[in-house]
Amino acid sequence: MKKMIIASTSTIHGSSYLEYLLPTLKTFFKGAKTILFIPYARPSGISYNEYTTLANKTFAKINISVTGIHEFENPIDAIQNAEAIFTGGGNTFELVNQLYKNDILSTLKEVIENGTPYLGTSAGSNICGVNMMNTNDMPIVYPPSFTTLVCIPFNINAHYLDPIKGSTHMGETRETRIKEFHVFNETPVLGLREGSWLEVLGDAIFLRGKLTARWFEKDKETRNLELGSLKFDV
C-alpha cells in the first residue's frame, strides 16, 4: 500500500529546512532508522554531498540518519533495500534527467507502490504525478521523457501562487500557465500552496496543512479543494 507525503515545499517563511513538517514526519517515518535521500535536483546547484548533509542535519532531530543515493555503487539496490525514501526539491528537469540516466524511475515507482514510505518536496513532489509538465523550473537539461512516477492520477504544481489583487505585473499567472497546459493535455493539475501537502495512503489522498489547494481540469471551472479527503473524478 502506498504511503506518501507530497509537499509543496521544504521550507516555509520563518522556519528552517523541513521544520514545519517534522511533527508529521516523526509519525510518518516511525520505525525507520535510515532514509535514502535522492539529491539529484540540486537546488541552487549545490553538490549531492552538501544537500545530503542538509537533510541529515534535519532528520537527526527525529533520530533518523540520511544516506544519499549517490553514495551507493548500485542505486537500484539502494532503492530496493531502503527503509524509507526522500526526494528533495530543486530543478525538476535535472531530477528527472538523473532518474532516467541511472535507470531507477521504474524501481522507485515499484517500491513506493509496494509500501516503502516516500517523502517528496517541490521537485520531489512534481515527479509523483503523471508527468513533470507542470513544474515551474527552467529547462536547464533535457530529460529523455517528461513521464514520471504516476503514483497519483494528476500532476502537481508546487509553490502555487494566487494572482495578487492590484498587482501591476503583466506576466502570466500560474493559473494562466496551467490553462495553457490544458489546451493540449487532459491530465488534471493540483496547485499546492506553500505549507500544504498531500498524504497518500493506498488509493486515498488527503490534503493536509493550513491552506486549500487549487484544482484544474480541462474545460472545467477551477475550484479550491478544502482540507481533508480529495474527491474528484479522473
Grid cell digits, residue 209: 496543512
Q: Using an 8 Å Cβ cutoff, are 84 and 34 in contact? A: yes
Cβ atoms of residues 89 and 9 within 8 Å: yes
CATH top-level class of 3-229: alpha beta
pLDDT of residue 12: 87
> What would the pLDDT profile of 207-230 be if each residue is shown by its tens digit?
999 899 999 999 999 999 999 887
Mean pLDDT calculated for residue range 171-178: 88
Question: Does pLDDT of 232 surpass 60?
Answer: no
Of residues 231 and 28, which shows the higher confidence score? Answer: 28
CB–CB of 192/125 below 8 Å?
yes
pLDDT band at 114 (very low <50, low <70, confident <90, very high): very high
Judged against a pLDDT cut of 70, whether residue 34 lies above it is answered with: yes
Q: Give 162's pLDDT tier (boundaries 50, 70, 90).
A: confident
Residue 62, pLDDT score: 97
Residue 234 has pLDDT above 50, yes or no: no
Which pairs count as long-range contacts for 18-22, CB under 8 Å and 24+ apart, including other chains?
Answer: 18/55, 18/58, 18/59, 18/121, 19/58, 20/195, 21/197, 22/58, 22/61, 22/62
What 3-state DSSP class applies to 93?
helix
pLDDT of residue 171: 63
Amino acid 207: pLDDT: 97
Which residues are marked as active site?
122, 137, 159
Structure confidence at residue 233 (pLDDT): 46
The count of other CB atoms within 10 Å of the CB of residue 30 is: 10
Pairing of strands 189-193, 155-160: parallel
Higher per-residue pLDDT: 210 or 148: 148
Residue 24 CB contacts under 8 Å (≥ 6 apart), including other chains: 5, 197, 208
Which residue stretches of 151-202 are H helix?
174-184
Tell me what the mean pLDDT of segment 8-22 comes to. 91
Model confidence pLDDT, tens digit, residues 59-100: 999 999 999 999 999 999 999 999 999 999 999 999 999 999
Ordered by start, the domain boundaries in the chain are 3-229
User: How far from chain centre, in Å, is Cα 196?
Assistant: 11
Share of the chain above pLDDT 70, in %: 95
Across the chain, what does the average pLDDT equal?
A: 94
